[in-house]
Amino acid sequence: MRTKTLDNPAALVATVIPRAEHTVSRNSMSENALKVLYRLHNSGYQAYLVGGCVRDVLLGKEPKDFDVTTNATPEQIKGLFRNCRLIGRRFRLAHIVFGREIIEVATFRGHHENNDEGESKVSKHSDHGQLLRDNVFGSIEEDAQRRDFTINAMYYNIADYSISDFAGGMQAIKDKSIRLIGDPETRYREDPVRMLRAVRFAAKLDMHISEESAEPIKRLAPLMANIPAARLFEEILKLLLSGQGLATYKLLAEFHLFEALFPQLAPLLLQPGSRENQFVEQVLTNTDNRINTGQRVTPAFIFAAFMWYPLEERCQQLMVEGGLNHFDAFNLALNDVMHRQIQRIMIPKRFSTAIREIWQLQNRLPKRYGRRAYQLLEHPKFRAAYDFLLLRGQIEGGDLLELADWWTVFQEADEAQRKTMLEVLREQQGAPARRPRRNRKKPKPKV
């Protein structure tokens, strides 16, 4: 099905697929999403499930989020639900809160009505074509044209359980193709994050980006610099913590998007097979395995890994150029590298603090004499720092791998074995034997 571009604002025409001809069922939907749909419908409003939840069910996947769209305005939605809160400045949304589950409800978006100067009264674009404000309401046909990809423009109607396919989404699913609705360059300029979304969907859904949608990405990748750093943090979590992080990373690198997100690391990845490349790919492989087996992961670990070699490089530069010792150079480099990365991706303090601790422990883990080994074991971030050290050792080998192996054994050893390991370590390193403590008599109090 050929879609019309945004340069020609005529509404798309839906292909209506009756209930008997598709696999989307109310059994696959959240009970809370159904409550929202039925209350809107019974109150006289149109109500549809739209986007990823419809797409995922058609692909045989279990949907995680349920997005609702309607012709009710945000204020009308709020009037129907006591558990509703309105959010957003760029486009007003309603969040219906059911404990930990939030059902997002959006009013149909419409086309812009420009004034004599060519600027919309209720929407605003930047000089690069980026959409800055977009509180424009419209019809379902207009809403479909405003959506990004054809696979996300399918609407499940709670009134008769049919699907309205406005842009050939069903065919795109069959073709395993990610296609933008409208002119790709215009849509990417409106919101450069759509380039990240194209990559994420391609990796997540095991699909490919269509030729016309892929062509502008490399040229427009620098537009990512216009995206607020706080917004990019949320996008990074979706990209790298979805269980397909390695595949996503490779697509980001292919389309020159990775360097816009991690400008300090990207130059170190130009040589295939380098330790930096091996490290990044191994971290993402391990993260994917943990996610896909139901284990917990933290964004701090990935960010720590992505900035580690830039940190080492900056540390060496400060030592050579500034004549600093390693301790001072390392701490200065840590602050420099973190500051530069936060300019691109705003890392919340709870994660940036953990990143710093993982890095600082890399310098403390080689120092194992006496009580230090026991103190390190009790550190809250020991396990993350040990995993980090182990990955470094597996990639770089040598003394680093021996150190990681020592900590692997030490963790599992009993108390007697640990004491033996520490004594052997002292002898190997030529450290002086510990002097026994002398019991000093307390002085008698003067009468």
CA–CA gap between residue 27 and residue 256 (Å, rounded): 41
Residue pair 124/132 in contact (Cβ under 8 Å)? The answer is: yes
Cα distances (angstroms) measured from residue 176 to each of 50, 183, 314: 19, 20, 43
CA–CA gap between residue 172 and residue 58 (Å, rounded): 11
| Residue found by looking up tokens 């309603």 in the block | 94
* From 67, 134, 165, 191, the catalytic residue: 67
- In single-letter form, the type of residue at position 1 comes to M
| Runs of H (alpha helix) within 205-257 | 211-214, 217-220, 229-240, 245-254
- Residue 386: exposure state from Cβ atoms within 10 A (0-12, 13-18, ≥19): buried
405 belongs to the catalytic site? no
Q: Per the structure block, which two tokens stand in for 319?
A: 């030592």
288 belongs to the catalytic site? no
* From 65, 175, 336, 387, the catalytic residue: 65
Residue pair 63/52 in contact (Cβ under 8 Å)? The answer is: yes
* From 134, 143, 148, 191, the catalytic residue: 148
Residue pair 38/144 in contact (Cβ under 8 Å)? The answer is: no
328 belongs to the catalytic site? no
Residue pair 79/43 in contact (Cβ under 8 Å)? The answer is: no
CA–CA gap between residue 231 and residue 220 (Å, rounded): 18
Positions marked active-site: 65, 67, 148
